[in-house]
Chains A and B, each alone.
Chain A
Amino acid sequence: MSSIWSDRPFLAVLAAVLAVALSLVTSIAVPFGLSAYLANAIGQLAAFAVLALSLDLIWGYLGILSLGHGLFFGIGGYVVAMYLLKHSFEVTGKVPDFMQFMGWTAFPFYWAGFGYFVYAALVAVAVTLLISGVFGYVSFRSRVGGVYFAIITQALVYVAMLLMFRNDTGFGGNNGMTGFAVIFGWPIGSRGVVISIAAISVVVLALTMLGCRLLLQSRFGMLMIAARDDEVRLRTLGYDTLLLKLAVWCLSALIAALAGMLYVPQVGIINPRLLAPDLSLEIAVWVAIGGRGHLIGAVIGAVLVNAIKFWLSAAAPELWPFILSGLIVLVVFVFPNGLVDLAGFRLHRPLISRLSSEPAELNR
């Protein structure tokens, strides 16, 4: 991939993201800036955009479609929710709802240490790496790919959802976890804190975009695209594609978990529905709508689809599924490369030609 400086569309979107971040940061200081409600919405969109980037990294640039990325998003979300609940309990002394519901007076033993954010973050990283690493290793080792991989990841997130629906696991069960009061010692609902979290989310989005962009223009990124286009060819040139895929897969999972950690403090609740197969499918839809294989496509897709969803969920919630399915069909027929087609951006040519057709191989 060419140098970042010649990629004008990317720079334009990055500049826009940074501008939003700047306006959020200034709004913290001045009372008449963005409202907390708007900032919160922007922050959530940023979290979704990070999530979409994580999927685009493996789908767009490595050709591996995961329909279970909600799992890693959920891991990040659950871990940060555990931090928030434990921390809030330590500050306010209020016993979380789910424990009252189960009749517990003490936190289960594995909640120990979750009052410290650093520990919680380390757990999120460790659990994400463990699950993505083991799952990725066994899948890529046996060369499960394509549609097979997609539906097995879908089953994975489905099973995780069923597990979390159980009330006896100590993670909130079907009601999930909510009632976060305090974050880093600050009241979570105050305007300053809300806007700060949103600002952090947007900054993280910008950093993720930049990081992914730099990765892709490195030699490693070159090998990713090579593996996407013809994995057998790359392997028979002496490259161990298992390691390559595993590394990108785990990185992608970590970014998804990061998105979850940004998302949950902003919505103030997590429950197993975050692990529903439908959400994981929706992530793929954002990326497809925006434009798979373009970092800015993922960002635009996630922001656009979710902005419409936010607006419709207030105006006409019944209509949303119909609009979403309509959008997918639109992408399939009219913009096979996503909305970046519409924008008419002059993108890196090799990508464009490649995107109009996936490898015809089915499961290799």
Chain B
Amino acid sequence: MSGTALVIDAVTVEFGSFRAIDTLSLAIDFGEVRAVIGPNGAGKTTLLDVISGITQPKKGRVIFGDATDVLRAGESQIARAGIRRKFQKPSIFEGLNVRQHIEIGAQGGLKWSLSRAELDQRVAEVLDAVGLLALANRSASELAHGQKQWLEIGMVLASNPSVLMLDEPVAGLTDEETERTAALVRSLKRADRAIVVVEHDMDFVEQIADRVTVLHEGKTLFEGSMANARADARVIDVYLGR
């Protein structure tokens, strides 16, 4: 499966008089890993908020797959349609243990679709993928920061999403953990899945991204390969620095 996964069509988001996203248009294809980078306040996280339904834009549309207008749906509907997102700040349930997180992520909705056996298998697969299998019965509150990041990735991964959005997946991680995360993201790449990563770590981005979009003041400044982005004068000016 290929084609366009997400179309962001002339979206504008305003907070009071501040325009966080300014008539931004963007298309993300299935099968690609897209990195969205840019300085603080460029609108990266707000973009993910719009796609996941947390923030309603003032204008514009977001189309998922062939026809689903994301903006007409609530957050949980969007998630059930197959768009999942990891938050910038690791968001986990401190009252639950690791395996319960994956169970919740795998079921995705108040109607439980998977049988016990299917669920157990899925949980084992995902925990293995994010490297937390040994900690399955540990409370999430006891995990280290990096483990929490992975747990959240596992949670959003568990339902096999078509669109996977990762907001700063390596923030606060050690180099070794970053390396492992990069490998994990690469392994998640599939022809029927679009992956969107927001990140400040340029080396990490270079390792994983097929294309990068550079946002600046709510607009697209550049779109293309990471190598080209590093060479682009405007990108260097506003973001990468000389």
Contact = CB atoms under 8 A, between A and B. Distances in A.
Interface string A182-212: 0000000000000000000000000000000
Interface residues of B, number: 34
A226 B95 CA distance: 7
B119 to A, nearest CB: 10
Contacts, number: 93
Interface in B140-155: 140-142, 155
A237 B110 contact: no
Interface stretch (B23-31, B77-85, B182-190): B77-85
B94 interface: yes
Interface string B127-170: 00000000000011110000000000001100100000000000
Given A222-B100, A232-B54, A350-B140, A238 B108 contact: yes
Name the residue among A228, A229, A350, A353 with the largest chain B CB count within 10 angstroms. Answer: A350
A223 interface: yes
A90 interface: no
A235 B84 CA distance: 10
A240 B110 CA distance: 7
Contacts of B109: 238-240
B52 A236 contact: yes
B52 A239 contact: no
Contact of B110 (A230, A243, A351): A243
B76 A239 contact: yes
Interface in A54-73: none
Given A237-B84, A351-B95, A354-B141, A222 B104 contact: yes
Given A237-B84, A237-B156, A349 B79 contact: no
Contact of A228 (B80, B95, B112): B95
Nearest to A240: B76
Contacts of B110: 223, 239-240, 243-244
B105 interface: yes
Interface in A159-174: none
Given A238-B76, A238-B79, A238-B159, A230 B93 contact: yes
A28 B219 CA distance: 79
A54 B52 CA distance: 34
Contacts of B141: 350, 353-354
Contacts of B156: 237
Contacts of B46: none
A8 interface: no
B95 A237 contact: no
Interface string A328-364: 0000000000000000000001110110000000000
B108 A236 contact: no
Contacts of A235: 74-76, 79
A26 B139 CA distance: 44
B240 interface: no
A306 B75 CA distance: 44
A233 B108 CA distance: 12
A127 interface: no
A229 B85 contact: no
Nearest to B156: A237
Contacts of B54: 232, 236
B43 to A, nearest CB: 19
A151 B211 CA distance: 50
A222 B112 contact: no
A238 B80 contact: yes
B239 interface: no
B52 to A, nearest CB: 5
A264 to B, nearest CB: 35
Contacts of A222: 96, 100, 103-104
A123 to B, nearest CB: 30
B108 A353 contact: no
Interface string B45-85: 00000001110000000000000000000111011100011
17 contacts: A219-B103, A222-B100, A225-B93, A226-B100, A228-B95, A229-B92, A229-B93, A229-B96, A230-B91, A233-B92, A237-B104, A239-B76, A241-B76, A350-B97, A350-B139, A353-B141, A354-B94
Given A219-B112, A349-B139, A354-B141, 5 more contacts: A225-B95, A235-B79, A236-B54, A238-B79, A239-B79
